[in-house]
């Protein structure tokens, strides 16, 4: 299955990379929790994120896998490359 990295998925991956983890309460990409879960599960099913642990409120802390970190670094490099041509 090929995953299309829509802009919202890219933002979520970069948010996790910058913050170290995310959960349904601290993420800022999706306004609806259902949208967050649908997309975080899509990333999980494609081996981009995984559950690290639970926080003190028993919420999952999602972190990037090794593959997810490579994707995040590639997105950052691509963004810098596109900005340098302006």
Look at residue 11 and give its three-state secondary structure: helix
What is the tens place of the pLDDT at every residue in 12-33? Answer: 999 999 999 999 999 999 999 9
Rounded CA gap, 65 and 56, in Å?
A: 22
**pLDDT of amino acid 1:** 67
- A 10 A CB-CB count for 65 gives 15
**pLDDT of amino acid 55:** 85
* Residue 31 belongs to a domain: yes
Structural domain harbouring 20: 7-84
**pLDDT of amino acid 34:** 93
State the DSSP H helix or E strand holding residue 49, giving kind and residue range, or none if neither. strand 49-54
What is the tens place of the pLDDT at every residue in 26-74? Answer: 999 999 999 999 999 999 999 999 999 998 899 999 999 999 999 999 9
* Residue 2 belongs to a domain: no
Residue 12: CATH number of its domain: 1.10.10.10
Task: Confirm if 60 and 16 have CB atoms less than 8 A apart.
Answer: no
Number of domains in the chain: 1
* Residue 51 belongs to a domain: yes
Q: Which residues pair with 64 in a beta bridge?
A: 49
**pLDDT of amino acid 86:** 62
* Residue 75 belongs to a domain: yes
């Amino acid at each position: 299955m090929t995953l299309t990295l829509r802009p919202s998925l890219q933002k979520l991956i970069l948010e996790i990379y910058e913050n170290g983890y995310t959960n349904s309460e601290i993420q800022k990409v999706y306004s609806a929790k259902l949208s967050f879960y649908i997309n975080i599960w899509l990333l999980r099913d494609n081996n981009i994120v995984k559950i690290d642990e639970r926080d003190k409120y028993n919420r999952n802390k999602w972190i990037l896998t090794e593959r997810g970190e490579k994707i995040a670094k590639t997105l950052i490099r691509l963004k810098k490359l596109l900005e340098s041509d302006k």
